[in-house]
DNA sequence: TCCACATGGATTGTATACCAAATGGATTAG
DNA sequence: CTAATCCATTTGGTATACAATCCATGTGGA
């Protein structure tokens, strides 16, 4: 019925994975666009972990039939965003403590590789971008310390800085499979877990900023081994923080 | 019409990814079963790289309607087995040289981590299983050297030994995310590429067997760092072999 | 009071039919 | 030999129907 027209500006061959990035989707494939939008909503926390994905409701929201919605859900299941329970539907995966532990170990390895590669391939421009991201971090810290500004602002600022920092390193690593692999693992491990723990304590944030600086310095110095080690430590500490937060819930 | 009854021996909650392993599918979800079967056929080379997946034909083969087939294809696209060309259909992805290079770099890292973890966690039983796999390797080598037996037998034997060897290490690593991550990358990089190069030259095979032995010895000695290094070298060499084979085609 | 069991509503999973849009190749015109 | 046109095939999406399944709720009995 209410069917919005599809704009066909541009023919793209679309060789990459659908749900990979948060970027606004081009033309190809309603199901892909729905899948991408849903993953974005999961990552942003707009859709809470453990909640159900009702096909009819989603179809209504997007103004489509159930068919492309079901295809999208299949994609989400394949990428691990969602778990499929037979005859019950799709539920947004809430990782167990064990899965988080395992996941951060793998993520550390991959990001460590990215840092090592970045140490040999990074351009001066990318180094400068890393430094800019660090300044964003410090801005976020002072914003949180400041009693005036809301917590939400600080959260967004910090998240953005963090995303940028890691994405710059990833770009500098010049390995497309690595990009895909990290996108994959970000679907397994919900992104924002870290902030929940970090945002409480300014000392933790300062420590975190220092870790980022150490990574950048190693990359700038072209010391691949040091960059890798610094990155691995950084990611593993984040994982420990998240696990600590989980154990508090008992 | 011709609709086979579905056996419901066993209710499984099915929390894991659908196309993950090659194992025969349980109950849940026709689309999942189709996706799993198709990925298996791609991995085994039954479906050649670059060929098209025709919805109608597949639907006919499985005795279903197009609906679950389309959902399965969406899953395959999400896992990277297939590339989706708008209005043209799904084609089995044939990775470029660059993708293979990047992919093997990532795979080396992940398998290296697995080997390191295995060095600390492997049980004596698993060590024995690794040794058994090594004997399978040697059997395959002699079988290939022997002019009587067909090449296909040697190929299957070697592939099985290789799969077993790496799966045992993976099991010994005790990290479920790592299992999933390697399953993911196996969908990006078709599995059997290595054999095509390895099978030609018995010296290459012997060298390969030696690499496997070195890995096992490091694991047996509990030397994580050595196991990681040996595994990384092993995987990277396989990647170089595959790349050499590709360049020959020019 | 509490447990076992039937019942009904909601939702998924699959089939079927239909059609617009697009694509690549064949055919035809220049 | 090239360019425009036409056409068969295939996808992508809508709509609808319906069996199977599951869960919650309520009912009856010990």
Q: Is 50 exceeded by the pLDDT of residue A2? A: no
CB contact under 8 A, A178 and B14: no
Binary contact (B177, A78; C-beta < 8 A): no
- Res B27: pLDDT: 61
Is strand C in 7 Å reach of the CB of A91? no
Cβ A80–B180 below 8 Å, yes or no?
Answer: yes
Per-residue pLDDT band for A13 (boundaries 50, 70, 90) equals very low
* pLDDT reading at A111 higher than 90: yes
Whether A173 and chain B come into contact, CB under 8 Å, resolves to: no
Whether the CB-CB separation of B61 and B54 falls below 8 Å is answered with no
Q: Which residue in chain A has the smallest CA separation from B69? A: A71
Contact between the CB of B6 and strand D at under 7 Å: yes
DSSP string, A64-127: S-HHHHHHHHHHHHHHTSEEEETTTEEEE----HHHHHHHHHHHHHHHHHHHHHHHHH--HHHH
Q: How far is B130 from chain A (nearest CA, A)?
A: 23
Helices (H), ranges, chain A? 30-43, 55-62, 66-79, 97-121, 124-145, 151-173, 176-188, 193-198, 202-220, 224-248
Give me B222's structure tokens.
Answer: 């509990």
Count of A-B CB contacts under 8 Å: 125
Q: pLDDT-based confidence at A126, cuts 50/70/90?
A: very high
For residue A231, say whether its CB is under 7 Å from any atom of strand D.
no
Judged against a pLDDT cut of 90, whether residue A166 lies above it is answered with yes
Q: Is the pLDDT of residue A109 over 70?
A: yes
- Lowest-pLDDT choice from A70-84, A87-101, B143-157, B236-250: B143-157
- Please indicate if any CB of chain A lies within 8 Å of the CB of B176: yes
Is the pLDDT score of A3 beyond 60? no
Q: Is the CB of B225 under 7 A from strand C?
A: no
Nucleic chain C contacts, protein chain B, residues 145-204, CB cut-off 7 A:
none
Is nucleic acid strand C under 7 Å from B13's C-beta? no
pTM for the model: 0.88
Contact B177 A184 (CB under 8 A): no
CA angle (A78 as vertex; A77, A82 as ends), nearest 5: 25
Q: What is the pLDDT of residue B242?
A: 93
Q: CA–C1' span, B15 to D30, in Å?
A: 40
Q: What is the pLDDT of residues A184-235, one digit of tens each?
A: 999 999 777 888 888 888 899 999 999 999 999 999 999 999 999 999 999 9
- Do A79 and B83 make contact, defined as CB atoms within 8 angstroms? no
Residue B46, pLDDT score: 92
**pLDDT less than 50: residues of chain B:** 1-19, 21-25
Alpha carbons B185 and B207: distance in angstroms, whole number: 25
Give residue A141's pLDDT band: very low, low, confident or very high (50, 70, 90): confident
The answer to whether B96 contacts chain A (CB < 8 Å) is: no
- Give phi and psi for A128, each to the nearest 5: -60, -40
Choose the weakest-confidence range: A13-27, A100-114, A143-157: A13-27
**Which of A11, A67, A79 lies at the smallest CB-CB distance from B78?**
A79
Model pLDDT, residue B13? 36
- CB-to-strand C under 7 Å, chain B 85-144: 86-88
Query: Which residues in A lie closer than 8 A to residue B82 (C-beta atoms)?
Result: none
Q: Are B71 and A72 inside 8 Å of each other by CB? A: no
Torsion angle of C-alpha atoms A54, A60, A63, A68, degrees rounded to 10? 20
- Cβ contact A74–B78 (<8 Å): yes
Chain centroid to Cα A147, Å, comes to: 28
| A13 vs B contacts (CB less than 8 Å) | 85
The answer to whether residue A217 neighbours chain B at the CB level (below 8 Å) is: no
| DSSP per residue, chain B | ---PPPP-S------S-SSS--SPP-SS-HHHHHHHHHHHHHHTTSSPTT-EE-HHHHHHHHTS-HHHHHHHHHHHHHHTSEEEETTTEEEE----HHHHHHHHHHHHHHHHHHHHHHHHH--HHHHHHHHHHHHHHHHHHHHHHSSSS-HHHHHHHHHHHHHHHHHHHHHHHT-HHHHHHHHHHHHHS-TTHHHHHHTT-HHHHHHHHHHHHHHHHHHHTT-HHHHHHHHHHHHHHHHHHHHHHHHHT-
Nearest to A27 by CA among A47, A13, A5, A8: A8
Interface test with A, best of B78, B98, B113, B170 (most A CBs within 10 A): B78
pLDDT in tens, B90-110: 999 999 999 999 999 999 999
pLDDT of residue A21: 47
User: Does B68 contact strand C, using a CB cutoff of 7 Å?
Assistant: yes
Nucleotides of C under 7 A from a protein CB: 11-16, 21-24
For chain D, which bases have at least one atom within 7 A of a protein Cβ? 10-16, 20-23
Confidence (pLDDT) at A85: 95
Chain A positions touching B79 (Cβ under 8 A) are 78-79
Place of tokens 């430590």: A233
**Hey, which residues 24-63 in chain A have their CB within 8 Å of chain B?**
27-29, 31-32, 35
Contact of B181 with A184, CB cutoff 8 Å: yes
Note the pLDDT tens digit of each residue in B160-171.
999 999 999 999
User: Do B29 and A84 make contact, defined as CB atoms within 8 angstroms?
Assistant: yes
């Amino acid at each position: 019925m209410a069917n919005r027209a599809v704009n066909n500006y541009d023919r793209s061959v679309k060789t990459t994975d659908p749900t990979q990035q948060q970027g606004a989707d081009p033309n190809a494939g309603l199901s892909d666009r729905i899948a991408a939008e849903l993953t974005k909503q999961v990552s942003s926390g707009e859709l809470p972990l453990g909640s159900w994905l009702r096909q009819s409701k989603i179809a209504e929201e997007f103004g489509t039939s159930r068919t492309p919605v079901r295809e999208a859900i299949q994609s989400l299941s394949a990428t691990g965003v969602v778990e499929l329970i037979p005859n019950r539907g799709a539920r947004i995966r809430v990782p167990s403590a064990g899965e988080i532990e395992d996941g951060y170990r793998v993520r550390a390895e991959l990001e460590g590789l990215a840092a090592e590669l970045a140490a040999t391939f990074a351009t001066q421009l990318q180094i400068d971008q890393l430094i800019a991201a660090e300044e964003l971090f410090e801005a976020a810290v002072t914003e949180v310390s400041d009693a005036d500004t809301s917590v939400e602002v600080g959260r967004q600022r910090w998240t953005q800085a963090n995303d940028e920092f890691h994405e710059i390193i990833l770009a500098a690593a010049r390995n497309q499979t690595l990009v895909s692999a990290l996108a994959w693992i970000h679907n397994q491990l919900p992104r924002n877990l870290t902030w929940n723990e970090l945002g409480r304590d300014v000392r933790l944030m300062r420590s975190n900023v220092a870790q980022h600086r150490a990574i950048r310095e190693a990359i700038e110095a072209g010391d691949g081994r040091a960059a890798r080690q610094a990155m691995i430590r950084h990611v593993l500490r984040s994982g420990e923080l998240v696990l600590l937060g989980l154990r508090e819930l008992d």
